[in-house]
Structure 1
């Protein structure tokens, strides 16, 4: 995750439990990363992947934002899937996901997978259909790279 994403997580929820938390920031020189008990801090996406690879081995790595971090991750051949929470409620905002994943399931270089495929990949039953929390409607989707 990027530094702003890390900062947006309320301190009582940091670090995110049961996972390695890696924060990518310009405050660390590219080509380096450091670890502390709360998080690993990396100077670039490649440094973050190196840090994860050295400590996590065969686990999955997830990117949780922000926009620049998503853009860098999507440019990597290693990025095979997108687990998308499609927010159906309109908000005024200034940051957007860097690629267009259409509601009709079509996108250049990407294909939306079925609910069953999503459940199988994550290893649990994901809520189906439109969900709502505090007046915000959303659906869970999984997309796979087609090229």
Structure 2
């Protein structure tokens, strides 16, 4: 199951099965999403919200594909892995081997999306979740298969060195309510936040 993608030109012979491309992130005031390779806040319940979404599949034996930029992947402690119902694709133009706990190494976002759409496992992959970092989020926002952005608004200021890209709110429209997403202001460890969903206008 561990491989570099694309391995050969064989993938050009496979039909493309379009998959939803979705972003999930948490950003503080000013759009910060990280500092020195870590999250600058400690919100376990918000992290569980993340896990519920990226692991949710419609049937046993199905998977979601999580797409990680190299630095985002390497900043993660090994504790959460393996994640149920998830295959991990790491994006890098410099790594030569698939990182520990990952399943695929892809050169860019388009390669990872085509992996989910054309790979022999494509029938088992339901959703492509983009989980960072900043450049990968930007590319995902511009991808034609992108339909939803799950962006937690952290209502506090933190010192960050990585930021969520600017999102065109005329294209991505905030939803008042969304199934499976708690509404209203949440609070944890003295930090208030709100779960938000933006839907791409067709």
The answer to whether TM tops 0.5 is yes
1:1-147 correspondence runs (5 A): 1-28=68-95, 38-53=102-117, 54=119, 55-57=121-123, 59-100=126-167, 107-115=169-177, 118-119=178-179, 125-147=180-202
Once superposed, what is the RMSD of the aligned Cα atoms? 2.4
1:104 equivalent in structure 2: none
Supply the distance in 2 between the matched residues of 1:68 and 1:109 (Cα, whole angstroms). Answer: 19
Q: 1:38 Cα shift?
A: 3.5
- Residue matched to 2:49: none
CA distance in 2 between counterparts of 1:40 and 1:112 reads 33
Structure 2 residues not aligned, in runs of 5+: 1-67
Structure number with the bigger relative contact order (C-alpha 8 A, sep ≥ 6) is: 2
Does structure 1 retain, via aligned residues, the 8 Å contact 2:89–2:102?
no
Change (3 A) 1:135 1:56: farther
SS of 1:91's partner is coil
How far is the alpha carbon of 1:37 from its aligned partner? 6.2
Name structure 1 gaps, 5 residues minimum.
Answer: 102-106, 120-124
Runs of 4+ in 1 over 4 A off after TM superposition: 33-37
Q: Number of matched residues?
A: 132
* TM-score, with structure 1 as normaliser: 0.77
